[in-house]
Structure 1
């Protein structure tokens, strides 16, 4: 039995972050797929009683929650193939961009559950986020940390697949090569790294899942609105 267990979900970019980190480090682990919509396991609720969310990494008997916190734990516990820079200043910069990714990524996901003026606003804000990363985050480097994947690449890794799925569902192109050449090239390089390529969800299955979730959210929204109108 593996000493490391990961409670996650195959379609979650946050779970995939942890998988990528474990694979890059060469850490063996047991994957526990959670049925989030219908039947969260008792262990998940025990290990993350505050948010009741995935991913949760369990090392021995110690649960660690929140994807980027988990990744820092992994990096500090298994020292091979470091994900954070050794230089204090570069490490601080990396943490700055990780926080940026955590704070701003939700803007893009808003596109999935918005329409009309709200969607147009979310689209413009998303383009501003991409512009900031293009001009100030990536520079002329292959990856955010240089020639090897690091913690910032993992934080933004969802853009390599999930962003394209969002674009297709809402019919709005965001990451265009002529607007964001550096970031566009980065997504291609990121996906071609064997560890990443072998541990990405199937794009078609992911698209179908996200479409289903969006349609369900829309149905619930209109159901609530109709009930309010009835009153």
Structure 2
């Protein structure tokens, strides 16, 4: 009996994209269902009634929510091309950096994008500090997970796309010369065969984030 795999996501979500990458790395066929979060489908509300958010992976009718949980589920269910190491210490390290991204790095970048005045300065300073930690973690490695991409690379993957979009919209330089390892990783990661054809259309992303930026920074 063939397995049924569906992924509820949106066209632009970095959280959905990390799940797309994991499925592609594993070679798992799936049906992509793009949601409109301004008009959430009955399917999304059925499969994620608690948070009512994407992404949701549906495997043989069973829903799994929250992108980091989904990534681990995928890795434990389909053993080929592992995205987490076997060693418990190394697995713990990957989970640490995944949480660092979602709880510190991403919120600081978003704050620099949306806030104004002193709050923006503080968010930008936090972003620069967080990026220094990321740069340090790449020392001596091709990818965050070693010679091949793994969980950390999938979670940090949004940097390879959204940072340049944020820079274009805001005019700020976020990842500059002080982050040579991160810059090289962003280029290397974005050109991987399993990654490069999955990016959302850049013109649509610019339009979306320009509108978001204008909403948070109305003309005075």
Q: Same fold (TM over 0.5)?
A: yes
Higher-Rg member (1/2): 1
- Give the TM-score, by structure 2 length: 0.94
* 2:203 is the alignment partner of 1:214: no
* 2:22 is the alignment partner of 1:17: no
CA shift at 1:216, angstroms? 3.4
Aligned to 2:197: 198
- How far apart, in 1, do the equivalents of 2:54 and 2:207 lie? 21
Q: Secondary structure at the match of 1:32?
A: strand
Aligned to 1:108: 109
Aligned to 1:144: 144
Aligned residues: 218
Q: Secondary structure at the match of 2:8?
A: strand
Name the structure with the higher helix share: 1
Distance 1:53 1:126, change over 3 A: same
Aligned to 1:79: 79
CA shift at 1:217, angstroms? 4.4
CA shift at 1:210, angstroms? 1.2
CA shift at 1:98, angstroms? 1.0
1:6-155 alignment runs, 5 A limit: 6-37=7-38, 39-104=39-104, 105-135=106-136, 137-155=137-155
Q: Deviations over 1:60-100 (max 9, x none)?
A: 11111111110110000000000001122111111111111
- Root-mean-square deviation (CA, aligned residues, Å) is 1.7
Q: Secondary structure at the match of 2:147?
A: coil
**Structure 2: gaps (5+ residues):** none
**Structure 1: gaps (5+ residues):** 223-231
Q: Deviations over 1:100-139 (max 9, x none)?
A: 111111110112221111111111110000001111x222
